[in-house]
Structure 1
């Protein structure tokens, strides 16, 4: 396993020849950088996008083995269609897609608050449906926003934040959910005797057109309120993808959380980082899992995984 002191970089990715990886929301930004790195290391990468034409345009810029499949995480019917169309083994699922700071309350096609529905519930359903095919690991991209000012929590009695919606409040809830999901997924995989590993990562501050990866995630920017600070502290897109890539290919403990090793976790080499107390609570993680199963109509495929183990 590489260490922070070795300043892990893209060229440290082991040969990925023969491996298949799915990266959600990968037609631009950090997702596309992740696809480029893994395809460049020899993996066959499936790039998912809501707009297939945009996805194909992005894939055309990537050397290596890349294909595009449609997936809209804000529509559970689309999630089920994608999963039903998957055949054969899948080495790594990277839950990268997401939305951030939607100005006004907006609902998914299934009636969920858009950020919670896309960032958490869509990936929750996708992961459960694909788990019988996954052989190595699930990496879910979270954010420093999970510990933003105001002590983010899961609003179990008002998940859509009706009457109390605020863009960052909703985003922080969804990113906290990503970490709780990873925690409980790891517990369930371990209990089922599965070799599959669940991990999480965050990009720090990256110069990406995906607004959810902006410095708005950080307490510092909220206090400084400076766009200049964002660009001074932010790292390039390829560097922002490093924590996700590190989590996708290195030998790490289950439920690990990877982020940059620099000041405030804004930038730097990937390393294991801490999470908030709320994101480490197994009781909340189990409750969220139960609620998510009810909302998505999907469940942990314990029988299939136990049989496979």
Structure 2
């Protein structure tokens, strides 16, 4: 089959590498436009674009795909390019743009999405983060026929991945990226034999986009939830607490055994300070001060000079 691949971040790049390594004819790639990044805010190509260019695959980077939208010119150019590529199938992974009907209907065999959850649970933009935050025991990859809904298409194949007690979004993302690539490469040769299954109506939930405002720790929440959120928001947006005028990033913690007012420092342990939460307590084991790097909390305790009973917000 002649494939077009649509994707942007490293999760998608992992799948593109696997498709190219397996010898699938990728005739073109759609990816997001270059964005400013780094301290110098220089334009940087997406991970997918870098893989495509290294392999000599043509790349298109439309600002939008709606023929009647504000980027209609870009969309028309993308349409002409896709028609020229004449794909049998489009493989999509974390592309970042909604595919309108004309895109979904253009490949002769439609569009296949690599989604990082066990649908219908965690449809939407942030399935890995939300699965960790919710305390799910497992997640996985679903290969899905795309339709005009939000991750509502028929399922073609699934693979399960356990969520470990110490998983962050970064560590789980890496495993799911590999799993998605493996499942896609294994499924394409037998695509005609895969029976589409409609998603069940029960168990639907949405993984809403992660917002920077969610980084602020709410000490009135249970310690177990805060600990999961630390891992879910690693590497973005991180979690943060206020100590007076200082904002301190909190990357890791473990459940403690104390009780007190939410945000109250209860004790200083060898691996970090223990703070009371709405239910239970949390020992903060990895911190980052402004201008510094992530470090074991124990290494920062002397400079912080914490006092028992002080309150963080």
Interval of TM-score (by shorter of Structure 1 and Structure 2): 0.3 to 0.5
Q: TM-score, normalised by structure 1?
A: 0.41
Larger relative contact order (C-alpha < 8 A, sep ≥ 6)?
Answer: 1
Question: Higher Cα Rg: structure 1 or 2?
Answer: 2
Higher helix content, 1 or 2: 1
